[in-house]
């Protein structure tokens, strides 16, 4: 798929997800280039249909974009249960397990995914894989970065501290933490790996999302239209 076709696929997925939002809903707003299109369409619907919604942003990026599109913002504290969340992913496998976190927003994204009754994951076809094999981002407490790196290496990763672009030194997340990218190659048991990473003190969250397949619907944008994948 060429770059222009990929943009169209993302647009189709995002626009389709925005149609799932109903009047009065509280919506988790994910981070990244595909959710961008969902927010754009949601903003249009707010103006065109007078839709009354509120969004819980998962990052500064999501908050800034939501404001730009006129989506009123609220917080997870105000709404610990969300009607719906719309988010992107880096990889999706046939069991609808995900790798997320290319944009370093995985910690808040997992909180929002957990809080939402239903989750719409918007992707282009390149994200659909048979076996998860992308590097898994892990958000790490800076105090424990070396200790956590050793533990991740012992699990078979090749841990790399994520460096900033247009910023010297490590990426600092919206929560003030670091990101370690862990290449495990093909991941045979993603759920088990997620649990093992979760057991490391100082590893605050990882980009594996394996426990949400029941409420996830994946919208795979194509060059024309989209394909819906769900297990329910």
Contacts with 9 (C-beta within 8 Å, 6 or more apart), sequence order: 1, 124, 125, 220, 221, 222, 223, 226
At its nearest, how many Å lie between ligand R5P and the CB of residue 74?
Answer: 20
195 annotated among ligand-binding-site residues: no
16 annotated among ligand-binding-site residues: no
Strand bridging mode 216-221 / 98-99 = unpaired
- Alpha-carbon dihedral of residues 43, 46, 48, 50, nearest 10 degrees? -170
Binding pattern to ligand R5P, positions 59-98, x when CB under 6 A? ----------------------------xxxx--------
Binding pattern to ligand R5P, positions 31-60, x when CB under 6 A? xxxx--------------------------
- State the catalytic residue, choosing from 5, 44, 109, 139: 109
Q: Which residue number has the CB closest to ligand R5P?
A: 32
Closest to ligand R5P by CB, 54 or 105: 105
At its nearest, how many Å lie between ligand R5P and the CB of residue 14?
Answer: 9
**How many helices, marked H, and strands, marked E, lie in the chain?**
6, 13
173 annotated among ligand-binding-site residues: no
Beta carbons of 165 and 206 less than 8 angstroms apart = no
Nearest to 120, CA basis, from 85, 83, 71, 96: 85
What residues are paired with 123 via a beta bridge? 220
Has 109 been annotated as catalytic? yes
List the binding residues for substrate.
Answer: 31-34, 87-90, 100-103, 127
């Amino acid at each position: 798929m060429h770059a222009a076709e990929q943009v169209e696929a993302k647009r189709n997925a995002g626009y389709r997800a925005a149609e799932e939002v109903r009047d009065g809903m509280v919506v988790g707003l994910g981070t990244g280039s595909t959710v961008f299109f969902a927010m754009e369409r949601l903003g249009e619907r707010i103006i065109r249909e007078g839709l009354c919604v509120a969004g819980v942003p998962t990052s500064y990026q999501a908050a800034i974009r939501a404001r730009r599109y006129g989506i009123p913002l609220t917080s997870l504290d105000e709404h610990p249960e969300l009607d719906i969340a719309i988010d992107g992913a880096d990889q999706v496998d046939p069991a609808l397990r995900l790798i997320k976190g290319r944009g370093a927003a995985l910690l808040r994204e997992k909180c929002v995914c957990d809080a939402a009754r239903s989750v719409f994951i918007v992707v282009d076809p390149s994200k659909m894989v048979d076996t998860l094999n992308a590097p898994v981002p892990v958000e790490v407490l800076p105090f424990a970065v070396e200790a956590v790196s050793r533990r991740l290496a012992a699990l078979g990763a090749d841990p790399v501290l994520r460096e900033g672009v247009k910023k010297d030194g490590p990426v600092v997340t919206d929560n003030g933490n670091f990101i370690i990218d862990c290449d495990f190659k093909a991941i045979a048991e993603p759920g088990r790996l997620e649990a093992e990473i979760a057991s490391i003190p100082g590893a605050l969250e990882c980009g594996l999302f394996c426990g949400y397949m029941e409420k996830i619907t994946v919208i795979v944008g194509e060059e024309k239209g989209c394909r819906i994948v769900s297990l329910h």
